[in-house]
Amino acid sequence: MLKLLVFFFFCLISINGHGYLLEPIARSSAWLVDSSFKDCCTYEGHMEMFCGGVGHQWNTNGGKCGICGEPYDRAVKLFEKGGRKYLGKIVQTYKQGQQIDVKIKLSANHQGYFEFRLCNLDTDPNSDATQECLDRGLLTVIDTNSTKYRDITKHGSEMITVHIQLPPNIACQHCVFQWKYTTGNNWGRDPTTNKSGPGLGRE
């Protein structure tokens, strides 16, 4: 029997990216498409979920970020469980092992790459995802052998559709999906090669 994956969705935009996850809709952007989020959860900064900025993320939080793109050191995060803009509402349902189209709207293209992750919370449905759980569920971009989507620059500031493979061995009533955008336009130095250039340092 074919089981279903049922998701809560949110986005994480790393550092200086400007955009949002449209399909499946992100927690911070759900008010754009679902009227039930309008009164409680309208958030004009939904395209700027970049961990408090590159300086704050690295100098204050050692590179860590909240799972929805909020500063890691924020005591109560708006869009995580317990936050005042968290509804815990399921926004999308997919079939187990399905190939899905993920749509991202960028207002400013900062190069770099996208990654997508999945966390199964069925064993503890009253909790929220952790980054450790999400990191164990790194998803594959269809037609590539990679978990990174790098064809960002050619799109400019527009809608980008990425084809993602959901795991054939995971079925859950409460899953969390994460989009992570690691930008590539800040000048820095690669700690391994010692080369300098855009996208080689902290992003």
Q: Which long-range contacts does 34-42 make (Cβ < 8 Å, 24+ apart)?
A: 34/89, 34/91, 36/87, 36/89, 37/87, 37/89, 40/84, 40/85, 40/87, 41/85, 41/87
DSSP strand pairing (92-95 vs 4-14): antiparallel
- Would you list the domain boundaries of the chain? 4-198
Say yes or no: domain 4-198 is CATH 1.10.760.10. no
pLDDT tens-place string over residues 141-172: 997 889 999 888 766 667 899 999 999 998 88
Residue-wise pLDDT tens digits, 63-85 = 999 998 889 999 999 888 888 88
